[in-house]
Structure 1
Amino acid sequence: MGMTGPGYPANLPAPQQKRPVWVVGGVTIVSFVVLLYIVELFDSLTGHRLDDNGIRPLETDGLWGILVAPLLHANWQHLVANTGPALVLGFLMTLAGLSRFIYATAIVWILGGLGTWLIGNVGAHCPYVGVQCETNHIGASGLIFGWLTFLLVFGFFTRKVWEIVVGVIVLFVYGGILLGVLPGTLGVSWQGHLCGAVAGVIAAYVLSSPERKARELRRSRTSPPYLTS
């Protein structure tokens, strides 16, 4: 039983140790991927009815798909193909800070989805001549492309060495998939990839604002005064 008073130290709560960033990040991204598998399992058991809720471009009802499309996949093969990049790139994203990861993901999710809703029918292959094609975009690949471009450019906005190094490594390992922003493969949403990639760059610029402002402040303090004559 603790005592306080003259000659006795006050009972202070033991300081709580914060979990390492990599642990929090790992748990976060693994939980997200597990959620994708739970959704796909439910979708498979219900005859893939959820897949109809993807992004349908320029349709009012298709706007709902912006919120849910990254959680939906056409089949298990589609989900498995996205799993590796989602785990690796998502984990690297969390190392920039969990709050930045959440904000960046939200920006890519919404802006990338909105862009897909606007241009998703562009270049769509239609089997019937003279008929306007309607497309339905689903999958986490747009989000993955956003994470990829975020990691590629974030270090150049912040001017932090380790973030630049991460960007270079990501470019070396995953740079080839950036070709996915180009049209060509039937059944693949290059529009979603492109819009996700653009949203990732926007997210990196917006979320690097504290570092950019601090750099400008340091520059203004160290710049010599201008003299006129």
Structure 2
Amino acid sequence: MKNQGINKEAIYVPIGLISIMIIIHLMNITGCYGIIPRYEIGIKGILLAPLFHSSWEHLFNNAAPILVLGFMVFSFYKKVAYSLLTVGWVLTGALVWLFADLGLLASDNHIGCHIGASGIVYMLAFFVFASGIIRKSLPLIAVSLIVVFLYGGMLWGIFPEEVIVYTKEQERISWESHFFGAVVGVFFAFIWRNVGNQNKKYSWHRRGDYVMEDEELWQRYLEKYPEEEEADPEPEKPKFKDLF
């Protein structure tokens, strides 16, 4: 099998996205270009919010996982990578615009301006993790475990301040962006579970499934080892391991 090497898009796309974020931050644009839930002025934030950050620390905290998770998505799930990034981007933002800051919790007593790419980070992380588990592919499960090892602590970010107490020095975290990003990631992992890399299942792995290809392999085996036919003229299951 020809080695295809590293998918260049797995490097270029995350770096390009982060470069745009850095350029926007350097421009020091004033005003709120984030998501303001249920306000018409905040609709533009569905597209723009992930590109704006409150500080360099905020930006670089999102840049590192975007590089790693973006590389994983475009390397192992390249057939759905662009769809996940674009449709997931919009859907996560739309859910935040619809359901964030509903006033049901004490921490949601006012409408905020949600900015930052953390929702995208959570979407990518939960997609990679859930996809490996759903597809039951050992290489993809290994990738899922890497995500757990690197970003397992992100799980706490989907909970509101009433569950996870933040210090006063910290800025208010948009847990809604994290939560809906995670939901969207798992949703697309399920929707696209049959697209791209799959766990290979051969016919002899399925109980009671005996097809013509099995018979052909069995006959080839008997040609090489005719004594097996005399010892076991009606075998219940073909033995292929010595053929290859």
Class of the TM-score when normalised by the shorter of the 2 chains: 0.7 to 0.9
In structure 2, the partner of 1:6 is none
Match of 1:165, SS?
helix
Question: What's the % identity of the aligned pairs?
Answer: 30
Greater helix proportion: 1
CA distance in 1, matches of 2:179, 2:89: 13
Q: Is the 8 A contact 1:104 1:207 kept in 2?
A: no
CA distance in 2, matches of 1:77, 1:110: 24
Q: Is the 8 A contact 1:57 1:121 kept in 2?
A: yes
- Which stretches of structure 1, 4 residues or more, deviate above 4 A after TM superposition? 211-216, 221-224
Residue 212 of structure 1 and its aligned partner are, at CA, apart by 10
CA distance in 2, matches of 1:32, 1:212: 25
Residue 210 of structure 1 and its aligned partner are, at CA, apart by 3.5
Structure 1, unpaired ranges of 5+: 1-16, 127-131, 225-229
In structure 2, the partner of 1:81 is 61
1:22 aligns with 2:4: no
Residues 63-78 of structure 1 mapped to structure 2, 5 A cutoff: 63-78=43-58
1:158 aligns with 2:135: yes
In structure 2, the partner of 1:8 is none
Q: Is the 8 A contact 1:157 1:212 kept in 2?
A: no
In structure 1, the partner of 2:157 is 180
Q: TM-score, normalised by structure 2?
A: 0.71
In structure 2, the partner of 1:203 is 188
* Correspondence for 1:140 among 117, 137, 143: 117
Aligned partner letter, 2:25: E
Residues 1-229 of structure 1 mapped to structure 2, 5 A cutoff: 20-42=5-27, 44=28, 46=29, 48-49=30-31, 52-122=32-102, 123=105, 125=107, 133-184=110-161, 185=166, 187-210=172-195
Aligned partner letter, 1:70: P
Residue 103 of structure 1 and its aligned partner are, at CA, apart by 1.0
Aligned partner letter, 1:190: W
CA distance in 2, matches of 1:20, 1:60: 46
Residue 98 of structure 1 and its aligned partner are, at CA, apart by 3.2
- State the Cα deviation string for residues 45-104 of structure 1 (Å, max 9, x = none): x4x33xx12111111222221111111111212101111111111111111243411111
Aligned partner letter, 1:27: Y
Q: Aligned Cα RMSD in Å?
A: 2.9
CA distance in 1, matches of 2:208, 2:50: 47
Q: Is the 8 A contact 1:56 1:137 kept in 2?
A: yes
Structure 2, unpaired ranges of 5+: 210-244
Residue 32 of structure 1 and its aligned partner are, at CA, apart by 1.3
CA distance in 2, matches of 1:164, 1:151: 9
Residue 118 of structure 1 and its aligned partner are, at CA, apart by 1.7
Q: Is the 8 A contact 1:124 1:135 kept in 2?
A: no
Q: TM-score, normalised by structure 1?
A: 0.76
CA distance in 1, matches of 2:18, 2:193: 26
Report the structure number with the largest CA radius of gyration. Answer: 2
- State the Cα deviation string for residues 124-174 of structure 1 (Å, max 9, x = none): 637xxxxx6111101000000000100111012222211111001111221
CA distance in 1, matches of 2:64, 2:106: 28
